[in-house]
Amino acid sequence: ETGVTQSPTHLIKTRGQQVTLRCSSQSGHNTVSWYQQALGQGPQFIFQYYREEENGRGNFPPRFSGLQFPNYSSELNVNALELDDSALYLCASSSTGDSIYGYTFGSGTRLTVV
């Protein structure tokens, strides 16, 4: 059984650019969630995808968008990058019907915006 894998592990982008982060869900998981963890903070919920549709969103602007593919892998896209977008981005997968401790987190992508 493979866990949640994220790519890339590190990334540096310039303010105003766009970025795409990728996540492969754990085998058997059909739901994916994305979290942003700024330095010194806890992870903050961005959104969740189930059956290729967004079914829950946190307090993030529309320039944060996502996709979930039929194989349950996912992308997080951020447009018009700002310096405050510098953070660790975590992907978590789970199965519908699991209690919430069924989340499995990936190791994250460290994004630095300069």
Positions in the binding site for other proteins (CB under 8 A):
4, 31, 33, 35, 40-45, 48, 50, 55-56, 58, 90, 92, 94, 98-101, 103, 105-108
Taking the complex as a whole, the smallest distance from the CB of residue 76 to other proteins amounts, in Å, to 15
The smaller minimum CB distance to other proteins, of residues 38 and 80, is found at 38
The smaller minimum CB distance to other proteins, of residues 17 and 96, is found at 96
The smaller minimum CB distance to other proteins, of residues 17 and 27, is found at 27
Taking the complex as a whole, the smallest distance from the CB of residue 80 to other proteins amounts, in Å, to 25
Q: Is the peptide bond before 8 cis (omega within 30 degrees of 0)?
A: yes
Taking the complex as a whole, the smallest distance from the CB of residue 4 to other proteins amounts, in Å, to 7
Tell me, rounded to whole angstroms, the distance of Cα 29 from its chain centroid: 15
CA distances from 94 to 41, 61, 63, 86 (A): 23, 24, 25, 26
Taking the complex as a whole, the smallest distance from the CB of residue 32 to other proteins amounts, in Å, to 10
- Dist CA 43 CA 30 (whole Å): 21
Of residues 20, 28, 22, the one with CA closest to residue 2: 28
- Dist CA 98 CA 56 (whole Å): 16
